[in-house]
Chain A
Amino acid sequence: MGRKGLSAATAGINVVSNNVANANTVGYSRRNLTTQNSDPIFQQGVLFGQGVDITGIVRAHDRYLGMQLVDAVGLQSRASTAEESLKLTEAYFNESETAGLVEVYGAYYDAFNQLSSDPSDISLRSHAVQTSERLATSVSRVADGLQDNINNFDDGFSAKFSQLNGLLSQIAKLNAAIGKRGDLQGNTELLDRRDQLVREVAALMGASAELDPSGQATIYIDGHAVVSGGEARTLSLITAAGVPPVLYLAADAGLIDVTSGVGGELGGILDARSYTQGYLNRLDDFAFTFANSMNAIHVGGFDNYGAAGGNLFVPPAAIAGAASTLSVDPLVSADPNLLAMAGAAGAAGDDTNLQNILTFESSASFTGALTGLQFLSSIVNDVGGDVAAVSADVEAQDALVEDYDAMRTSISGVDTDEEAVRLIEYQAAYRAAAKIVSATDEMLRVLTTLGG
């Protein structure tokens, strides 16, 4: 009995040592030594206790909370990745600078307004051409920046995806090991490592998880199991220039598109990509409408040489890419006298066509029956609104994860003071058991002496 007591106390001190050593280990669940009194023996009509047996070392863990945390980590990771990525896009719409799109668009009409004071003045004409070039450059710069971001998002998606199958495979292996051992209580190390990997997968792709009674985890994406027991299904990524990445799950029935169910960091990247592509599409729409409308007006006028006007902007070939390629017609760039401001040939002060250009400023010719300023402003407004909404989501998800994490830490975390108390208890138990061994030894020595 003394030996059993010493063993139990030693095991308890080992558990405390392990807990203290892992006090700062992420994902570690504190261990508790479980014991029970040994089966008694019946001697001379009396039941005698046989000391203590160690029944196991169990981890402090709440299964339901663990699954909730997996879901929350996926949502938080998705929102924070989308926020970080979208802020890169927002940087291209920094309207507090004088080079903001809306500011430059306003300056374009201001230059033509100034030209109305003397349509034949070459310096005012040059200024109008320069502001036209500035507008085209600004639109094109923002469009190129957005496209760069989209390309970077795609690269980032591929880089992060490359970790995914490895993680799923590790989870499957740990699942298999947990199932093979068949001793749920004794699988503490494997369960901790597996749970940490599940949270990493959730952070990466926003999976949900279910734990079966044997302790094995099933990981789902878009309702499809990607890890089930000891088996991991392979996810494959299809990428092509100009289209969003697509994730396929290899299933018995063939490949299943699970992209819409992707969350976590990958989902956040897809969200930011989708937002950014939307802004780029609208900028293309703006550039296409603007360039074609300006050209339609410009060809109806007459230049400073009395000749009929040509294009003011290079005509965009299609809506897609119109923003990136927006540029002033090279002939007009080279000679501001080619600005066709007059309504008829000959008169230097004739600004009939210039007035048509200025009238277009307040014309609701853009998608949604908006003026150019309103249309551009709505893009910037949506960028700001989307970033703010995603940031608010991040705050909410952060708070949720912090709460769940605090609850998990409260249940599973190591409190060093608590461990110190338990250490004192086990030390005392050890000393007491040792005393029993010593007393028993003394008794035996007395008996041996009597027998001699």
Chain B
Amino acid sequence: MIRATRLGLNDLVSQHMAKLSTRMRVIEEQSVTGKRVNRPSDDPAIVSEVHRLYSSIEDQTVYVKNAESANSLLSQADETLAGVADLLIRAREIAVAMASETITAAERTSTAPEVQGLYDSLVQLSNTNIDGRYIFSGDGYQNAAFSAAGVYGGANTTPSTRISESQWAQNGFDGSQVFQGVIDTFAVLNTFVLDLQANNVPGIQNAIGDLDIAFDQNSFWRSTVGAEVNAVEDAVEIAEGMSSLLSTRLDQLINIDETETYLNLNDIRNTYESVLRVSATSNQTSLFELI
């Protein structure tokens, strides 16, 4: 027969109350922090996954920042090349008009300053910069891309920024390729100016073909820039989506279900109070009271 002594019963009560207190403290901590996992030992099985998730979420934040920063440079590059396209279209219109045999030498000479103006605009556009960062200077973006004479001053390597785990977006261009790769756009306009001044009709006729090549060259780079813009916009969308998914998963892993936690806490408090009442009642009865 098991003898139930008062000391044994009291020990049992205090052991149960200590366990309930511990559980209550754990749930109270979870309620305060809003997290189910407050230290590695709370759920060691998920530690590695939580670390990967934290790291990946932070990575996505950086990728978004980098992609947005690249996007602003690329948008500026696209706008610049659109300006160059307009400039080349205007130059071609002038070339076609000035190639006509009905145009006099004086008229051709008087048109030269307009084309010189287009050349100056080209130099200005090719040196487009954001806060001193020259878009068409490649890696050497702290230096102006082109001199007034159309001499390239940048680097032949191009900068890029990381926009995903495995993707780098180009956020600067080698101006010598953009403006002088297939044909030297500066030289085309400069020669055109000289031909107008010299009333060199065959030269002006050649300029039409050269301007077409320069235009195609510009179009190619516009499409390249456009592709990069699309890539960074996609990267932003993907990184934001990933961040949201990863955050949801992290939330599922470490955060509490508030309703469940509240109900658990209530259950434990009720049990704790019941144990206290039972203990108090059992301690009130003693045979010695009746002797």
Residues on A lying within 8 angstroms of B by beta carbon are: 23-24, 87, 90-91, 93-96, 102-103, 106-107, 109-110, 113-114, 116-120, 346-351, 358, 373-374, 376-378, 380-381, 383-388, 391, 398, 402, 405-406, 409-411, 413-418, 420-421, 423-424
Report the minimal beta-carbon distance from B12 to chain A, rounded to whole angstroms: 7
Contacts of A348 in B (CB 8 A): 139-142
Report the minimal beta-carbon distance from A437 to chain B, rounded to whole angstroms: 24
Question: Which 5 A-B pairs rank lowest in CB-CB distance, beginning with the nearest?
Answer: A384-B40, A349-B159, A387-B41, A347-B139, A384-B44
A409 with B8, Cβ < 8 A, contacts A96-B33, A349-B138, A350-B139 known = yes
Interface size, chain B (Cβ < 8 Å): 57
**A13–B103 Cα gap in the complex (Å)?**
142
Report the minimal beta-carbon distance from B174 to chain A, rounded to whole angstroms: 11
Say yes or no: B12 contacts A415, CB within 8 Å: no
Partner of B5, one of A90, A413, A421: A413
- Does B162 belong to the interface (CB within 8 Å)? yes
Partner of A416, one of B47, B58, B168, B288: B288
Say yes or no: B47 contacts A377, CB within 8 Å: yes
Contacts of B43 in A (CB 8 A): 384
A94 with B140, Cβ < 8 A, contacts A106-B58, A416-B286, A416-B287 known = no
Report the minimal beta-carbon distance from B54 to chain A, rounded to whole angstroms: 6
**A385–B40 Cα gap in the complex (Å)?**
7
A349-B157, A420-B288 are known; give 10 further A-B pairs, CB within 8 A.
A91-B39, A95-B39, A96-B254, A117-B161, A348-B142, A350-B155, A377-B51, A381-B48, A384-B42, A410-B5
Report the minimal beta-carbon distance from A58 to chain B, rounded to whole angstroms: 16
Report the minimal beta-carbon distance from B285 to chain A, rounded to whole angstroms: 9
**A421–B11 Cα gap in the complex (Å)?**
23
**A315–B62 Cα gap in the complex (Å)?**
29
**A334–B215 Cα gap in the complex (Å)?**
49
**A103–B61 Cα gap in the complex (Å)?**
14
A349 with B141, Cβ < 8 A, contacts A410-B3, A413-B3 known = yes
Partner of A349, one of B33, B59, B65, B140: B140
Say yes or no: B33 contacts A406, CB within 8 Å: no
* Closest residue of B by beta carbon distance from A106: B55
Report the minimal beta-carbon distance from B55 to chain A, rounded to whole angstroms: 4
Q: What are 25 contact pairs spanning A and B, CB under 8 A?
A: A24-B7, A96-B254, A102-B54, A117-B70, A117-B161, A117-B171, A346-B155, A347-B138, A347-B139, A350-B159, A351-B160, A377-B48, A381-B47, A381-B48, A385-B41, A387-B44, A410-B3, A410-B5, A410-B8, A413-B8, A414-B7, A415-B3, A416-B6, A420-B288, A420-B291
Could you mark each residue 214-255 of chain B with 1 if its beta carbon is under 8 Å from any beta carbon of chain A, else 0?
Answer: 000000000000000000000000000000000000000010
Within B1-42, which residues are at the interface with A (CB < 8 Å)? 2-8, 11-12, 15, 33, 35, 37-42
Say yes or no: A102 contacts B140, CB within 8 Å: no
**A119–B66 Cα gap in the complex (Å)?**
12
Say yes or no: B55 contacts A383, CB within 8 Å: no
- Does B105 belong to the interface (CB within 8 Å)? no
* Closest residue of B by beta carbon distance from A402: B15
Contacts of A95 in B (CB 8 A): 39-40, 47, 50-51, 54
**A416–B5 Cα gap in the complex (Å)?**
7
Say yes or no: B54 contacts A409, CB within 8 Å: no
Say yes or no: A420 contacts B286, CB within 8 Å: yes
* Closest residue of B by beta carbon distance from A347: B139
**A416–B138 Cα gap in the complex (Å)?**
94
Say yes or no: A116 contacts B6, CB within 8 Å: no
